[in-house]
Amino acid sequence: QDPVCLPDGSVCERANIAALQPKGEVKSDPVLAEAIRSYFELRKESEKQQKEWQTWLAGRNKRAQERLVQRQRQIYALRVALEQSRKKVSMLEEKNMASSKTASTIASSTCSPWEDTSSDPVDNPDVGGSPLGQAAAGPNWRSGPAPRSDVATPATRRASERRRSTWSFLSGKAQSP
């Protein structure tokens, strides 16, 4: 901590001069002493900043881990919901197939949808008869949902874009249009 300059130009600590036994005058080196003092101050400050950085980074890592766990829970919930939806869809498909088999069996045993079953088509136009009393030209359709097209039209694309995503539904945040 107390450097001195020897007559030959080398520098050492004042405590080590006795071991070297220099010949000549030994001078104190204040510039080197200030540089050493500044170095130790900077080192102390950098260690302090390093500890602060590690503390901050540990907090960020903890928050990131909490978010990761939250996202994993959301993924699990979405997977469970998807599996439940798939089960519901398969149950509805099975139910629909069973009811369509029953309906087709009943329809085939009674009459064809192409046949006119009314005694007077003018009195019963819902059956498919024409007001002129002629036989029906088309089938007697039953009510039910309209068939869906697999091809996306611009209108259906816009409608699907307006829908909220499952993610926003589960997080409680509405998706901005």
pLDDT of amino acid 41: 95
Per cent of the chain over pLDDT 90 is 33
- The values of phi and psi at residue 80, to 5°, are -65, -45
Q: Which residue has the higher pLDDT, 47 or 114?
A: 47
Mean pLDDT of the chain: 76
What are the tens digits of pLDDT across the range 60-76?
999 999 999 999 999 99
Residue 68 near residue 38, CB atoms below 8 Å: no
The number of residues making up the chain comes to 177
Residue 127 scores a pLDDT above 50: no
DSSP secondary structure of 34-73: HHHHHHHHHHHHHHHHHHHHHHHHHHHHHHHHHHHHHHHH
Q: Read off the pLDDT band of 171 (50, 70, 90).
A: low
Q: Which has the higher per-residue pLDDT, 171 or 30?
A: 30
Q: What are phi and psi of 89, to 5 degrees?
A: -65, -45
More confident residue, 173 or 28: 28
Supply the pLDDT for residue 19: 81
How confident is residue 29, by pLDDT bands cut at 50, 70 and 90?
confident
CA distance 77 to 64: 20
Give residue-wise pLDDT tens across range 44-55. Answer: 999 999 999 999
- In the prediction, which pLDDT does 130 show? 46
pLDDT at 129 over 50: no
pTM here? 0.38
- Write out pLDDT tens, residues 132-164: 444 545 556 666 666 666 666 666 666 656 555
